[in-house]
Each structure stands twice: as C-alpha cells, then as structure tokens.
Amino acid sequence: MGEMSSFQMGVVGALFLSVASSVSIVICNKALMSNLGFPFATTLTSWHLIVTFCTLHVAQRLNLFVSKSIDMKTVMLFGILNGVSIGFLNLSLGFNSIGFYQMTKLAIIPFTVLLETIFLKKQFSQKIKLSLFLLLVGVGIASITDLQLNLVGSILSLLAILTTCVGQILTNTIQKKLNVSSTQLLYQSAPFQAAILFVSGPVVDQLLTKQSVFAHKYSPVVLAFIVTSCLIAVSVNFSTFLVIGKTSPVTYQVLGHLKTCLVLGFGYTLLHDPFTGRNIIGILVAVFGMGLYSYFCAEENKKKHSGDLPLSSQVNQEEENHEPTKSSKESNM
C-alpha cells in the first residue's frame, strides 16, 4: 500500500509539473513570438534541448542522478525521431490553417490508441474510448475555427502524427523495457534531438517565416524572454518524459488537451484573446471527457490491483493452514 500511494503521489506530481511548466512556456513563447516578433519556433526548440542537456549534465556531475548507458543506436534513432516529429509539427502549422493543425493534434490520440492496439496488443475499454471521444469533441469545439485542406499540408500533418505517436510510444516502452528513468533517457537522447533541430531549425524557420534567425535583431527584452523560455523548457522536457514513463502516451496526450483548455483560459484572462460561448462549451465538454477518462482509468487500475489480491491472500491463507497442521504433527510426536 505504501509503495502504491507513493507511486500515485509521483504521478500526481509529474502531471502537475507538466501542466504548470507547459502552460508557462506557451504564455512565454506567445509573448516572445506575437508581441516581440521572434517567429523562429524550431530553432528556439533546439536551444531548449541544448539548455536541457547542459542542465542535466551539471545535475549528473553533482550526483543528483546516475547516468545509465543505453544502446547508442537505440538512443540515436529515438532522439532523431523526436527531433523530426517536432520539425514536422512546426511545418504542419506553417503549411496548414490553424484549424487543420488543431485537427492534426487531436488525431494523435486515436492514432496512438490504434498503434498500441495493433503492435503492443494493448486493450482499451469502451468506457475509455467514450471518454476520449468526448475529450476530442470538446477540444475540437473549443479550438477549431477553420479547416482548409491542401496536399502538402496534409502529407506533413500525417508525417507529424506518425512520428509523434511512435516517438511517444517509444518513450514509454524504452523506459520500461530497458529499466531506465525519465531523466536517464532524456539525458542520453537530448543531444541527438538538439543536433537535428539545431541543423534543420534555421532552414525550417526560413521556409516558414521568410526571415533569417541569424539576421534578427536581438534586443535585451527578446534575449530575456529567450533565456526564460529555455529555463522553463528544462521542466517541460523533463516532465514530458516523466509523465509518459509513469502513465502512458495516451494519458500524456489527454494532459496536453487539458493544457490547451488552460491556455485558452489564460489567453482570455491575461492576454485578452477573444473568447466566445463556443470556446466555453468546448472547454466544459473537454473537461468532462478528461474527468471521465481519469475516473475510468482509476476504476480499471483498482480492478487490476484487486484482481491481484486474492492470489496473495490465498497464498497467505495456505501458509496459515499449513502451520497448525505442522504444529499438530509435532505435538503428536
């Protein structure tokens, strides 16, 4: 019971850290890109990962965690895949309307469920599927405004969905199969993610914005926001691996849509973004779907653990039954 409660506390802590850091970085980046005119999202992400790796390297040197060697080929492919998925997501946003990009993000959950069902033989109950459906409908109502299709954008969105799903499934699978912590995996893979984005970032950003990151004028305010964004990103990257490792890729995506609802709310209250009755209805439906998902997951976990209890109680009962028999034999002798 003690181990179970400590595990649950760890999950709650990871979820809270992920939500708090992600909402913070979205608000910071929105101010940086919209208000201060710094549109280089892919390059900024590479800086995030470089700072994350440097921070973890210092932490490892201070013996705050123990580095664990992982097969170089596995880490390299995993890091490159995650870096490529970020690039595809940014390209998808650049070549599609905001509405179609939101549809792309929504499609990650059903695709993840499909891939885990086919390749990992994981079972999702009808209740879980219903709660996920309500969540997706709610987020769709709240965030999707227009849908404009084009061939290039559709292909990029499909590649973004595929690489993101596989990357997040691998994040969970590698941690469990190789018995490595989220910190150890992030420490090993961050250099490869950073490298692929550091090289491709300026090219992708030039393609999307028609501006060069090298020619941009970096005022003290812009530099301050970039540094702040990079520091928050350490927490974002760490909590991402932590949540996926402790829960599942689907739960992480559900959490991501909670962040979307919170960002919409904060955007209205702090940044005075337009907010309509449709946004409110969508957020309420999404939150209801998240509540059902959490409840059904907790219910299924309880059934799973209670299903294990009779076996142990039977063993204990058998041991208790054997003890009197043994003592009675000794008394007869």
Q: What is the pTM (predicted TM-score) of this model?
A: 0.82
pLDDT 10s per residue in the chain (333 long)?
556 566 677 788 888 998 899 889 988 998 999 889 999 999 999 999 999 999 999 999 999 999 998 999 999 999 999 999 999 999 998 898 777 888 898 899 999 999 999 999 999 999 999 999 999 999 898 877 766 778 899 999 999 999 999 999 999 999 999 999 999 999 999 999 999 999 999 999 999 999 999 999 999 999 999 999 999 999 999 999 999 988 899 999 998 888 878 877 776 676 666 778 888 899 899 989 999 998 998 888 888 767 654 544 444 444 444 444 444 444 444
SS (H, E, C) the chain: CHHHHHHHHHHHHHHHHHHHHHHHHHHHHHHHHHHCCCCCHHHHHHHHHHHHHHHHHHHHHCCCCCCCCCCHHHHHHHHHHHHHHHHHHHHHHHHCCHHHHHHHHHHHHHHHHHHHHHHCCCCCCHHHHHHHHHHHHHHHHHHCCCCCCCHHHHHHHHHHHHHHHHHHHHHHHHHHHCCCCHHHHHHHHHHHHHHHHHHHHHHHHHHHHCCCCCCCCCCHHHHHHHHHHHHHHHHHHHHHHHHHHHCCHHHHHHHHHHHHHHHHHHHHHCCCCCCCHHHHHHHHHHHHHHHHHHHHHHHHHHHHHHHHHHHHHHHHHHHHHHHHHHHHHHHHC
pLDDT given for residue 11 in this prediction: 81
pLDDT given for residue 201 in this prediction: 96
How far lies 34's CA from each of 146, 201, 221, 237, 268, in Å? 20, 19, 14, 23, 15
pLDDT given for residue 211 in this prediction: 95
- Tell me how far apart the alpha carbons of residues 4 and 27 are, in angstroms, rounded to a whole number: 35
pLDDT given for residue 2 in this prediction: 57
pLDDT given for residue 241 in this prediction: 94
Q: How far is CA 168 from the centre of its chain?
A: 7
- Tell me how far apart the alpha carbons of residues 129 and 125 are, in angstroms, rounded to a whole number: 6
How large is the angle between the packed helices 249-269 and 220-246, nearest 10 degrees?
Answer: 150
pLDDT given for residue 147 in this prediction: 67
- Give the count of alpha carbons within 13 A of 277, CB side only: 0
